[in-house]
Structure 1
Amino acid sequence: MWQLIWKDVMIQRGSIIWLAILLIFIVIFGVSIEMPAFIFLLLGTLIAGGSVIARSISRDEVNHTLLFLTSLPVSRKDIVMARYIGTLIVMLVTMVFLYVITSIVMWTWIPIEDFFVSMGTALVIVLGVTTLLFPIYYWLGYDLMRYIGSGLIIFYAFLTLLVSLPIVQKAINWLAVRGYSVILSILLGLMIVLYIVSMRFSIRVLGFTDL
C-alpha cells in the first residue's frame, strides 16, 4: 500500500516543486501586505491539498492507472486505502511546510492556537470534499466526479462571498466568543469519522465495480 502512495508522490514530483514555490510566494505576499496569517495559511492549504489530490486522480485517469492496478496482485482495498491515507499525508506535510515557511518569513513562531484554527479549518474543508468525491469517483467515474467537484468549487466561492455579509460576521463573532477552536475540534473529529466511513464505502464500491 505504501508503494501506491509513493507512486503518487513520484508522478507529481515536478508539480510539487512548483507548488512549494507558489506556497512560499503566497506566504511572502501575505506577510508583505500585512494580511492576517489565518487567511494565507488557509488559502495555501486549500490550494495545495486540492491541486495535489485533483492532479493525482486526473493523472491516474489519463494513464488508466486504476485499471492497471486492479490487474496486478494488489487488493482493491489497498488501492483505495492508499488514496485516502495519501490525501491525509499530503495535507499534514503541507500544513507543516506552511507553518515553517510562515514562521521563517515572519521571524516568529505562529501561536499554535492560530495555526490550529487556520489549518484545521482547511483540513475540515478538504476532508469534506474528498469524503464526498472519492466514493463518486470509484462508483460513477471520473467525469461525474469532476463535474460535482467543479460545482463544489463554485459553492465554496459563493460561501466566501457570504462571509462579507453583516449577519455572517455576527455569526463568526458569536462562534469566536464561545471558543471557535473547541467547535473546530468537534467538527474535525466528526469529519475524520465521516472520512473513515467514506473510505470503507469506497472499498466496498470498488470491490463490486467491473472495470
Structure 2
Amino acid sequence: MLNLIIKDIAIQKKTLLYALLYSIFAPIAFFSKGPSGFGLYVLSPVVTAYMLISFAVSYDEKNKSEIVLNSLPLKRKDIVLSKYISVFVFAFIGIIYSILVGFIGKATGLPMFAASISLLNIILVLTSVCIFTSIFFPVYFKFGYIKMNFFNVILFMSFLFVPTATIEYATSNPNNVLVQKINYFINNTSSFTQNSLAIIICLIIFLISLMISIRIYKNKEF
C-alpha cells in the first residue's frame, strides 16, 4: 500500500512544481479575500491537494494502471485505501509548501505574507480535503476520471470559490439570521469543541465514502 502512495507522488514531479508556484500565487491573488493568511494557509494547500489527487487518478487512467494493479496480488480494498490515505499526504505537502512560502515571503515585508499558519488553518485544510475526497472518489471509482470531467470541474470550482464567497457574504451581511446563529455558536463555543466537532463530522463522512468506494471497486469489472 505504501508503494502505491509513493507511486502517486513519484509520477507527479511537474505537478509538484505547479503546486509550489500556486502556493506563491495564491496569497497575492486572494490577499483581499477572507481572513489574513486564508489564501496562503488554507486555499493554497487545498488546491495543491486537489491538483495532486486529480493528476494521480488522471495518470492512472491514461496509462491504464488499474488493469495492471488488478493483475498483481493486491486486494482491491488496499488499492482504494491507498488513494484515501494519499489524500492526507498530499494535504501535508500543500501545508509544507505554504509554510515555506510564508517563511520566505515574510522576509520581503509584503503584507500578504505577514500572517503565520495556525491550528485552525490546518484543520480547515484537512476538513476541506476530506469533504472533497468523500465526494470525488466514489464518483471516480464508479465512472472513471474521463467520464467525470465535467463533474470534476464543477466540484473544483465549488471548493475554490464557495468558501471565499461564503466568508464575503457573512462579512457583508452580519444581520442575517443564519450568520448571526453561526457567529453565536462560534463566539460561545470553545475552539477545542469547534475543532473536535468539525474533525468528527468530516471523519464520519470520510469513512462512509471509503466504504462506498470499496464496495463500488470490488464490484467493478475491467
TM range (shorter): 0.7 to 0.9
Alignment-derived partner of residue 51 in structure 1? 51
Task: Establish whether residue 37 from structure 1 lines up as the match of residue 37 from structure 2.
Answer: yes
Alignment-derived partner of residue 93 in structure 2? 93
Alignment-derived partner of residue 188 in structure 2? 178
CA deviations 1:157-203 (Å, max 9, x no partner) are 35533432303764564344134733233112221222122222212
Secondary structure of residue in 2 paired with 1:210: coil
**Stretch deviating more after TM superposition (195-204 or 20-29):** 20-29
Secondary structure of residue in 2 paired with 1:164: helix
Alignment-derived partner of residue 77 in structure 1? 77
Describe the shift of the 1:210–1:85 C-alpha distance in structure 2 as closer, same or farther (beyond 3 A): same
Per-residue deviation, 1:52: 1.0
Say whether the 8 Å CA contact 2:45–2:93 is kept in structure 1: no
Say whether the 8 Å CA contact 2:46–2:94 is kept in structure 1: no
1: CA distance, partners of 2:74 / 2:167: 46
Alignment-derived partner of residue 110 in structure 2? none
Alignment-derived partner of residue 151 in structure 1? 154
Give the TM-score normalised by structure 1. 0.82
CA deviations 1:22-74 (Å, max 9, x no partner) are 3134457778xxx7113431111121011111111111111111122112222
Say whether the 8 Å CA contact 2:140–2:148 is kept in structure 1: yes
2: CA distance, partners of 1:46 / 1:21: 14
User: Percent identity over the alignment?
Assistant: 23
Secondary structure of residue in 2 paired with 1:126: helix
Say whether the 8 Å CA contact 1:163–1:169 is kept in structure 2: no
- 2:204 maps to which of 174, 186, 193: 193
Secondary structure of residue in 1 paired with 2:72: coil
Taking only aligned residues, the RMSD between alpha carbons, in angstroms, comes to: 3.0
Task: Establish whether residue 140 from structure 1 lines up as the match of residue 140 from structure 2.
Answer: no
Secondary structure of residue in 2 paired with 1:163: helix
Describe the shift of the 1:172–1:102 C-alpha distance in structure 2 as closer, same or farther (beyond 3 A): farther
Structure 2 unpaired stretches of 5+: 108-112
Secondary structure of residue in 2 paired with 1:74: coil
Give the TM-score normalised by structure 2. 0.78
Paired residue type of 1:115:
S
- 1:161 maps to which of 140, 165, 170: 165
